[in-house]
């Protein structure tokens, strides 16, 4: 099957009944639920881009198994050119969502492409697991499926020093093995895009401090979101059901986050990619290099997000007439710096990419991982800069309805600036508020701080991969040390 259209994606969601809970009620149809449908439409629009005649060649490539055109984020890159083509594709999607849908389908596609390229890694556990991961990648590529994922065990307590809490009856664990597969039970966070995905992938990058070699908590698998026993519990929706004027981002890009409960869920054997082996589960991201490939997708999102926030800031200062003030330029300069740093790191990761031991072209680890670490502090700062630039204008934001109400003449007269009508000003600042202040915007800040694990874990990861010897040696030589 070639790359899907948006309608085919929506039909796929409808075809699969799933257990999703939102606001105390079971969602009957995720494609029509007011809290979910607009986010779903945004994802559908991404799929439609694959069929835009002007974009088709940049969004898709020829399937190695069918010869049909399939989504480019499924490619296993073998050359730098393929890596760059993949980035162009991911940038198209990221820019279409203003960088506000971090979990667009390419996020998981690049991970599974990396894993299929490194299938021999999974075969180290059991030969059939290597075949399982290869086949699954082909399956999601040929059906153009959307995946969510949940990596983190819900923590019952954070008092356990130095060990991630794997409390029985809370963390996801294998309960038993049967002829048909393994049965899992427990809770995981945080499946972003869960209700509007076709499948959920479950693995774990951080059983690192679990000391046993074999563990019922160590597992990597993927199953349909409608699998019996699987339950998605949504937070409240930040799509408040208002117009795109009132909530320009929330009314479009709600990707939803869920806790996932696994109530004795059967995972068929062909969907198991690793089982029991703590070392292999822990090492998956680094050894297969899927960590760098997903960081490459994140870098594209960061570039799009930086560009968008910078564009909003520039329009804000133009509208308010304060663009020429030195402290405004200082703040805008900082936003420009983040934007250029993101682009530079992404480019460096491609320029210094190398074929890895699996024969996959891997983005250079340091620059590409830096984009993730930097954004945990850069993005909150970017939002702070918007707040500093906008001040009370964030509060001078009547709703669309007010423009048709009795105070419309006053609004039109007093809210206009030298460069913008009242409507233009309010529309812009409602957008800025959706970045810098609304529930939708606050969740974006939280997302950038934590989506790729907590900042402490990220910093420790960078410490692990950084080649420290060279700089230590340089300083040692300067100090005249002999060894």
Ligand X SMILES: Cc1cc2nc3c(=O)[nH]c(=O)nc-3n(C[C@H](O)[C@H](O)[C@H](O)COP(=O)(O)OP(=O)(O)OC[C@H]3O[C@@H](n4cnc5c(N)ncnc54)[C@H](O)[C@@H]3O)c2cc1C
Q: Which residues bind ligand X (CB under 6 A)?
A: 103, 149-152, 155, 158, 189-192, 257, 443, 446-447, 450-451, 453-454, 456
CA distance 221 to 269: 9
Cβ atoms of 372 and 415 closer than 8 Å: no
Cβ neighbours of 465 (radius 10 Å): 12
The nearer residue to ligand X, 261 or 447, going by C-beta atoms, is 447
Least CB distance to ligand X at residue 160 (A): 8
Residues in the chain: 483
CA distance 349 to 363: 5
Q: Which is nearer to ligand X, 5 or 170 (CB)?
A: 170
Least spacing, CB of residue 347 vs ligand X, in Å: 27
C-beta closer to ligand X: residue 83 or 259: 259
The kind and range of the H/E element at 8 are: helix 6-15
Q: Is 186 exposed, middle or buried (0-12, 13-18, 19+ CB in 10 A)?
A: buried
CA dihedral 182, 187, 191, 195 (to 10 degrees): 80
The residue among 260, 257, 255 whose CA lies nearest residue 225 is 260
Cβ at position 353, least distance to ligand X in Å: 26
Min dist. Cβ of residue 122 to ligand X (A): 20
Q: How far is the CB of 455 from ligand X (least distance, A)?
A: 6
Q: Which residues on adjacent β-strands are paired with residue 233?
A: 21, 259
Question: Is residue 84 a contact partner of residue 127, using CB atoms and an 8 Å limit?
Answer: no
Indicate the residue among 120 and 445 with the shorter CB distance to ligand X: 445
Which residue number, 165 or 387, has a Cβ lying nearer to ligand X? 165
Which of residues 456 and 479 has its CB atom nearest to ligand X in the complex? 456
Please report how close the Cβ of residue 188 comes to ligand X at its closest, in angstroms: 7
Shortest distance, CB of residue 445 to ligand X, whole angstroms?
A: 9
Closer to ligand X at the Cβ: 136 or 447? 447
DSSP labels for 52-108? -TTTHHHHEEE-TTTSSEEEGGG----SHHHHHHHHHHHHHHHHHTTT--TT-THHH
> Nearest distance from residue 106's CB to ligand X, in Å?
14
**Residue spans of alpha helices (H) in 226-287:** 278-287
For residue 420, give the DSSP letter: S
Least separation in angstroms between CB 222 and ligand X: 13
Q: Cα(first)–Cα(last) distance of the chain, in Å? A: 61
For residues 191 and 230, which CB has a smaller minimum distance to ligand X in the complex?
191
Give whichever of 175 and 445 is closer to ligand X, judged by the CB atom.
445
C-alpha count within 13 angstroms, C-beta hemisphere, residue 376: 15
Q: Which two tokens stand for residue 378?
A: 């850069």
State in angstroms the smallest separation of the CB of 275 from ligand X.
19
Token digits of residue 238:
């930040």
Instruction: Count Cβ atoms within 10 A of the Cβ of residue 236 and give its class: 0-12 exposed, 13-18 middle, 19 or more buried.
Output: exposed
Nearer CB in complex with ligand X: 154/411: 154
Q: State in angstroms the smallest separation of the CB of 458 from ligand X.
A: 9
Long-range contacts of 400-403 (CB under 8 A, 24+ apart): 400/243, 400/245, 400/246
Per DSSP (E only), the strands in 397-446 are none
- Closer Cβ to ligand X, 10 or 193, answer by number: 193
Task: Tell the residue number behind the tokens 């049909």, with chain if given.
Answer: 68
Q: Residue 422 in 3-state DSSP?
A: helix
Q: How far is the CB of 202 from ligand X (least distance, A)?
A: 9
Please say which residue, 124 or 449, places its beta carbon nearer to ligand X.
449
Residue 70 has φ and ψ, to the nearest 5°, of: -125, 165
């Amino acid at each position: 099957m070639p790359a899907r259209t948006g309608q085919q994606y929506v039909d796929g969601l409808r075809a699969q009944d799933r257990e999703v809970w939102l606001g105390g009620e079971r969602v009957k149809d995720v494609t029509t639920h007011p809290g979910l449908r607009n986010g779903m439409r945004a994802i559908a629009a991404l799929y439609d881009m694959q069929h835009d005649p002007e974009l088709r060649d940049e969004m898709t490539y020829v399937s190695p198994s069918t010869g049909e055109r399939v989504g480019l984020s499924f490619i296993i890159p073998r050359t730098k050119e393929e890596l760059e083509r993949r980035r162009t594709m991911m940038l198209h999607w990221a820019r279409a969502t203003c960088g506000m849908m971090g979990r667009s389908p390419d996020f998981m596609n690049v991970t599974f492409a990396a894993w299929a390229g490194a299938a021999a890694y999974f075969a180290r556990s059991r030969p059939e697991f290597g075949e399982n991961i290869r086949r699954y990648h082909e399956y999601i590529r040929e059906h153009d499926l959307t995946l969510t994922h949940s990596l983190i065990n819900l923590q019952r307590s954070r008092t356990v020093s130095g060990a991630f809490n794997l409390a029985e009856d809370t963390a996801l664990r294998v309960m038993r093995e049967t002829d048909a597969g393994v049965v899992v039970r427990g809770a995981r966070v945080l499946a972003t895009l869960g209700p509007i995905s076709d499948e959920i992938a479950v693995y774990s990058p951080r059983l690192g401090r679990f000391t046993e070699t074999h563990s019922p908590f160590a597992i990597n698998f993927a199953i349909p979101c409608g699998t019996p026993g699987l339950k998605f519990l949504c937070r409240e929706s930040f799509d408040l059901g208002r117009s795109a004027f009132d909530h320009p981002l929330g009314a479009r890009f709600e990707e939803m986050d869920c806790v996932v409960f696994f109530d004795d869920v059967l995972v068929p054997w062909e969907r198991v990619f690793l089982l029991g082996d703590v070392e292999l589960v822990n090492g998956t991201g680094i050894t297969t290099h899927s960590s760098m490939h997903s960081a490459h997708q994140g870098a594209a999102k960061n570039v799009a997000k930086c560009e968008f926030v910078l564009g909003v800031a520039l329009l804000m200062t133009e509208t308010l007439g304060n663009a020429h003030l030195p402290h405004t330029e200082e703040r805008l300069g900082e936003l420009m710096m983040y934007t250029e740093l993101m682009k530079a790191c992404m480019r460096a990761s491609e320029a210094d990419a190398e074929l890895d031991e699996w024969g996959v072209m891997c983005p250079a680890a340091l620059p590409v991982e830096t984009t993730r670490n930097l954004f945990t502090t850069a993005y909150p700062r970017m939002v702070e800069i918007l707040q500093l630039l906008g001040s009370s204008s964030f509060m001078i934001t009547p709703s669309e309805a007010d423009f048709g109400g009795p105070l419309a003449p006053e609004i039109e007269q007093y809210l206009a600036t030298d460069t913008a009508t009242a409507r233009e000003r309010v529309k812009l600042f409602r957008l800025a508020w959706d970045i810098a202040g609304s529930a939708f915007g606050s969740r974006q800040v939280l997302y950038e701080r934590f989506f790729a694990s907590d900042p402490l874990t990220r910093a420790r990861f960078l410490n692990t991969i950084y080649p420290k010897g060279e700089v230590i040696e340089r300083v040692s030589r300067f100090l005249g040390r002999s060894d």
